[in-house]
Amino acid sequence: MFEFDQYLGFLAFLTILTIGFWLMIFLLTFVIPYWIIGANLENFKMRREAKRQAKQA
């Protein structure tokens, strides 16, 4: 069976694996969509402002 240091290493491995898994889930479901939607909104606002400037000139 496991000795104590092997048990601690196994727990450390499981902890790092779990943290990485939840970080990946968080990034894929919140951060990346937020970033993409924000960039698209910013581009839309810039194009709309450019059209306004073109009409005024």
pTM (2 d.p.): 0.70
Number of Cβ atoms within 10 Å of the Cβ of 15? 10
Q: What angle do CA 8, 9, 12 make, to 5 degrees?
A: 85
| Cα 2 versus chain centre, distance | 37
| Cα 52 versus chain centre, distance | 34
Residue 42 dihedral angles phi and psi, to the nearest 5° = -65, -45
What's the Cα-to-Cα distance from 51 to each of 22, 39, 44, rounded to whole Å?
43, 18, 11
Per-residue pLDDT of the chain (57 residues; tens, 9 = 90+): 779 999 999 999 999 999 999 999 999 999 999 999 999 999 999 999 999 999 986
